[in-house]
Amino acid sequence: MSELQLSPAEARVVAVLVEKSITTPQYYPMTVNGIMLAANQKTSRHPVMSLSEGDVGNALNSLEERKLVVRDSFSARAQKWRHQFQHQMMLKPETLAVLVALMLRGAQTQAELRAHAEALNGPTDLDGVQAALADLADRAQPLVTELARAPGQSAARWAHLLCGEPAADAVAPASPRSAAAAAPANDEIVALRERVAALEARMAGLEAQLGIGPSPGDAG
């Protein structure tokens, strides 16, 4: 398709449709009101938006003209919508997940993208994230770009280009949790700790079954 440019509202609306089709398929396709509520969520969104039903309706109409969304013909009552974003943009599932994570949450490091895209059936490791970003960046119309690393940042961040060049505030404020996720080494440490804890719990259960746990005299 020809070069695509979306307004922030259009990008949020189509990204929400993709997200909910994966995470809550029982509530998909979606009504205008459902899309509005999901678009205006206070969590998992950057920037936080306050779209009205009219804003969402206008965005849907514009997206429909470009065949990125369609009205669901099987809706018995309220009009519902579904996306055609993956098909029209010719995206693999892993690449779609990475792009939508950027559209919903703003600029992110590769480690943050791994965590957020995995929930959208995206890559489960950093190699997969890197491959998806390379695919998106190497298109005739690049869909993502790597941002210059700001002072104090531990890793470079990536942003989508569907709304043009990213603004200075494209990066979501780092929370303690997301800051820890910025470095792959920290992710690996957390995973190892969880694995060790699970193994210790399993060993304790086996010892209890076999009656070979530590004797009272061993304590202290």
DSSP sequence for 131-177: HHHHHHHTSSS--EEEPPPPTT-SS--EEE-BTBSPPTT-BPPPPHH
b vs e for 149-177, b when ≥16 Cβ sit within 10 Å of the residue's Cβ?
A: eeeeeeeebbbbbbbeebeeebbbeeeee
Count of residues in the chain: 220
Helix, strand, coil percent values for the chain (each to nearest 5) = 50, 10, 40
Structural domains in the chain? 8-89 (1.10.10.10), 93-184 (1.10.10.10)
AA identity, residue 66:
R
Token pair, residue 168, equals: 């200075």
pLDDT of 31 above 50: yes
Confidence of residue 3 (pLDDT cuts 50, 70, 90): confident
Q: What is the pTM of this model?
A: 0.77
Rounded mean pLDDT of 167-192? Answer: 52
What pLDDT shows up at residue 34?
Answer: 98
**Segment 17-27, tens digit of pLDDT:** 999 999 999 99
Q: How far apart are CA 137 and CA 160, in angstroms?
A: 9
Instruction: Report the Cα–Cα distance between both ends of the chain, in Å, rounded.
Output: 70
Token pair, residue 214, equals: 């530590």
- Residue 82, SS3? strand
Q: Is 60 exposed, middle or buried (0-12, 13-18, 19+ CB in 10 A)?
A: buried
Percent of the chain with pLDDT over 70: 75
Q: How far apart are CA 106 and CA 100, in angstroms?
A: 10
Sequence-separated (6 or more) residues with CB below 8 Å from residue 18: 83, 85, 86, 96, 100, 120
